[in-house]
Amino acid sequence: MAKSRNNLLGVGGQRKKLSRAEQQGANPARNDDRKAAEDKKQELVRKMRERAAAAEAAPAQDAQAGS
Q: pTM here?
A: 0.48
Does some domain include residue 48? yes
What secondary structure does DSSP assign to 1-21, as a single string?
-PPPSS--TTTT-------HH
Q: What is the pLDDT of residues 3-50, one digit of tens each?
A: 566 766 666 666 777 778 777 776 677 778 889 999 999 999 999 999
How many structural domains is the chain composed of? 1
Instruction: Report the pLDDT value the prediction gives residue 46, as an integer from 0 to 100.
Output: 97
Give mean pLDDT, residues 54-65.
76
Residue 16 belongs to a domain = no
Q: Note whether residue 39 is domain-resident.
A: yes
In a domain, 32, yes or no: yes
Alpha carbon distance 30, 56 (integer Å): 39
Domain span at residue 43 reads 26-59
Note whether residue 15 is domain-resident.
no
Mean pLDDT over residues 42-60, rounded? 91
Whether 10 maps to a domain, the answer reads no
Asked, for residue 37, whether it belongs to a domain, the answer is yes
What is the model's pLDDT at position 31? 77
Whether 49 is in a domain gets the answer yes
